[in-house]
Amino acid sequence: MKILFITNRPDISFGLQAQILEKALTELGNEIKDIDHTAPLRTKVNLLQSFKPDVVVIWTYFNDIGHPTITIEEFRAMTKGERNFMLIGFEVSDTDRLSQKAIEMTNEYEFDLLLTPSEWSAQGFIGVNAPVVVLPHALSYYFYEPSRKYKLHIPSIENGNKNVYIYAQHSFDRKGTDIAIYGVNEEWKKRQDFNVIVKTMQAGKTIMDEIKPPKYVMRGFVSEAFHYSIFKKANVFFYPVRGGAFEIPVLEALALGLTVIIPEKGAWVDIPLNKDDVYWIKVDGLKKYWFDNSYHIGNFIEPNKDDALDKLDEALNNPKNVNVNEYLKEYSPKNIASQFLELIKK
């Protein structure tokens, strides 16, 4: 099958996921072409005419939220009003509802199928004309390659140390960073037997400076290999996240065998293969938080911070024993690509 992907650049997480899927589809015997959203229109037209794809995937298409995507006007100019292929769109709803602008934009493309990575995200597409189907994200190929060795000055869990990982990559409200910091600080008052590892894009003075236990902060863009080598240094993944469409760090933590603490509602609840694989934080309800674009206008969930603290204490005392191989198999690039192909055939 010939499949053309029109994608985000690879330094954006969506673009990375597209690359993983494309590689797996190629390994399954499909002919794949990829073109960046930012490529000139003439280049896109020439590729479409010469490649003659069976399927075109636009990954992603909301087009004024900080990263370039193809507009409906450009897509119409690209196809010249003719379509001899199946058209698939990939997008997400970070909150429980998308705006009318997002729905209207979705319907303008006249997709044959819409992909989104979780049931939570799917519920935000109220009023779209195309079928909305959940296709989970896949693990990186780095999970299936030999580990690279890095000299890291972090206390080793192999020597009995306890390290709590906080993922505060961006938009701290959305990631629940305030609750995570509250949790580790309150826990530190009771016991001083753990350290904190933080991954963030933020430089300079941030709320991470408020963390009381010994901390190791990884800032900015790093290679996947280095990121996972840091991740492996943790025992506990403490993630009282409020919003998102999938939250792949939850999957990565489970695939690395960490004890995971996440809220009982939200996009991430689809990820655990067994309910007992994680500690679930109680949720007090839904709450409207800031959001800096005109698409994701709904509510976040609101984790209970005291229950989050209780679950952190429990996780440090009683770590989970996760079957890593189940996650490596279920969320492998090949398995996700096979699911994608099944969707096309329906």
Please tell me whether residues 44 and 149 are part of one structural domain: no
State phi, psi for 228 to the nearest 5 degrees: -70, -30
Give yes or no: residues 61 and 179 share one domain.
no
Task: Tell me: do 175 and 313 sit in the same domain.
Answer: yes
CATH of residue 86: 3.40.50.2000
pLDDT tens digit string along 64-73?
655 668 888 8
| Mean of the per-residue pLDDT values of the chain | 92
- Three-class secondary structure of residue 275 per DSSP: helix
Give dist(CA 301, CA 241) in Å, integer: 8
Is 324 in the same domain as 184?
yes
Whether 82 and 107 map to the same domain: the answer is: yes
Closest CA to 169 of 196, 198, 201: 201
Are 83 and 156 in a shared domain?
Answer: no
CA 306 to CA 261: how far, in whole Å?
Answer: 13
Q: Are strands 113-116 and 2-7 parallel, antiparallel or unpaired?
A: unpaired
Say how many domains are in the chain: 2
pLDDT for the residue 64: 63
In whole angstroms, give the CA distance from residue 83 to residue 344. 16
User: How far is residue 159's CA from residue 258's CA, in Å, rounded to a whole number?
Assistant: 16
202-230 burial, b if ≥16 CB within 10 A, otherwise e?
Answer: beeeeebeebebebbbbeeeeeeeebbbb
Check whether residue 77 and residue 168 sit in a common domain: no
Task: Answer yes or no: do 105 and 172 share one domain.
Answer: no
Q: 231 and 301, same structural domain? A: yes
List, for residues 261-312, the tens digit of each pLDDT value. Answer: 999 999 999 999 999 999 999 999 999 876 667 888 899 999 999 999 999 9
Residue range of the domain that includes 86: 2-138+332-345
Name the residue among 147, 174, 141, 159 with its Cα closest to residue 240. Answer: 174
CB 176 within 8 A of CB 184: no
Q: What is the pTM of this model?
A: 0.94
Model pLDDT for residues 132-145, shown as the tens digit of each residue: 999 999 999 999 88
